[in-house]
Amino acid sequence: MDPIEGVRKEISSKRDEMIELQRALTAVPALGPQNGGEGEWEKARLLIAWLERLGLGPYELASAPDPRVPKGERPNIIVTIPGREKQGTFWIMTHMDIVPPGEARLWESDPYKMVIKGDRLIGRGVEDNQQSLVASVFAAACVKKLGLRPRRTVGLLFVSDEETGSSHGVQHVLKAGQRFSPQDLALVPDSGSPEGNLIEIAEKSILWLKFVVTGKQCHASTPEKGVNAFEAGSHLVVRLGALRERFAATDRLFSPPTSTFVPTRKEANVPNVNTLPGEDIFYLDSRVLPQEDLERVTGEVRRICAGIEKDFGVRVQVEEVQKASSPPTSPDAPIVATVRDAIRQVYGVEASTIGIGGGTVGAYLRAAGIPTVVWSRIEETAHQPNEYCLVSNMLGDSLVMALAMVG
């Protein structure tokens, strides 16, 4: 029998077990402490029991201390299958934590009791990120059961804290030990499209800035006695628009193809109409093409702020709320070809490489020098009420992963 057919048959035969694991995982809400939860340990314990039952033990833990949860730590689990060649590990990274269900009345069923409707599984977490988590578990189990030696060592990495910053998840694992090498490559199946034809290889740099404009508060009837921070801040917002012209490079890998600079959050100033505000606070969300230098962006921001200080007699403080950048993965990196070939064999589509506006955990791996692609075939219902995934996608993606492992 054609080896692909063997893998396909083995994974299809696991359909019911995969659905069962989805159901079990959905019943254990793994919410981080910032989301009002007790962390991921209960879910991790369930997953470990399944890993052992499927012959995927032994596993390794790289837990991150966190006094905010009852167990005092956040679990990160690593399973490896030795490969034929010693040339780095092929990682598949998924996350165990979920986001809260949100408004209960928008759900047609209990978010933590998985419902099956035809090809759909419905419940919180079934798509984000359990579809891929379950797919990776069964891909590895299938490769092991059929006695196929993967080309590279396979590493399944199940992390915590993806939804609330990753400092207790992938960032901790990256810091904690010599598990990674620049020879490694990684698939992060946590974003994608319904056709499964988009392989994300690059992200814009993220720069979130907080602006605190300080003037002098006074009675609104005597404005000459104060300095209006709100008025100065409003001019500042408008002048920051110049960043778009100053950093106008384009890159067709991305949509939109330019860097973006968007004023977003605005904090309230005075509660009453007849006080001239002495303080004004707002935020700017910037997504900068990786080829632009973030230091040049912050330099230009400082120059604009100095102009406002001079023209309006205020003080402007700029604070970096979030700053992250990662080098793009080359479209010619072997991981891109491996995943693209497997997608073609399973789904019959030719996938193209894209860049996005930023914010996946793939960026941490890229920043550590590991060529990383973000891909999955999903319905894009993550974080929504009535989140669902398609069983056919879970099986298909599992086959893609198994083929990519065997390489």
By CB under 5 A, tell whether 360 contacts Zn ion.
no
By CB under 5 A, tell whether 200 contacts Zn ion.
no
Render 78-106 in DSSP notation, one character per residue: EEEE--SS-S-EEEEEEE--------GGG
Q: How far apart are CA 172 and CA 97, in angstroms?
A: 15
Q: Which is nearer to Zn ion, 48 or 170 (CB)?
A: 170
The yes-or-no answer on residue 97 being catalytic is yes
The single residue of 97, 200, 203, 397 carrying the catalytic annotation is: 97
| Closest CB 376 distance from Zn ion, rounded Å | 10
Q: How far apart are CA 392 and CA 377, in angstroms?
A: 10
Axis-axis angle for helices 229-240, 294-312 (nearest 10): 140
By CB under 5 A, tell whether 129 contacts Zn ion.
yes
| Closest CB 382 distance from Zn ion, rounded Å | 6
Q: Which is nearer to Zn ion, 128 or 387 (CB)?
A: 128
How does DSSP classify residue 274?
T
By CB under 5 A, tell whether 128 contacts Zn ion.
yes
- Of residues 249 through 278, those in contact with Zn ion by CB under 5 A are none
| Closest CB 313 distance from Zn ion, rounded Å | 47
| Phi and psi angles of residue 279, each rounded to the nearest 5 degrees, phi first | -140, 140
The single residue of 161, 162, 163, 184 carrying the catalytic annotation is: 162
The yes-or-no answer on residue 341 being catalytic is no
By CB under 5 A, tell whether 130 contacts Zn ion.
no
By CB under 5 A, tell whether 10 contacts Zn ion.
no
Q: How far apart are CA 129 and CA 134, in angstroms?
A: 9
By CB under 5 A, tell whether 97 contacts Zn ion.
no
Q: How far apart are CA 18 and CA 75, in angstroms?
A: 22
By CB under 5 A, tell whether 127 contacts Zn ion.
no
Strand intervals (E) in 174-216 = 185-188, 198-203, 205-214
Binding pattern for the stretch 158-197 against Zn ion, x by CB under 5 A and - elsewhere:
--------------------------------x-------
Q: How far apart are CA 407 and CA 399, in angstroms?
A: 12
| Closest CB 389 distance from Zn ion, rounded Å | 12
Phi-psi region of 225 (alpha: psi -120 to 50; beta: other; left: phi over 0): alpha
Cis peptide, bond prior to residue 228, ω within 30 of zero: no
| Closest CB 129 distance from Zn ion, rounded Å | 4
Q: Which is nearer to Zn ion, 128 or 184 (CB)?
A: 128
Q: Which residues bind Zn ion (CB under 5 A)?
A: 128-129, 190
Catalytic residue numbers read 97, 162
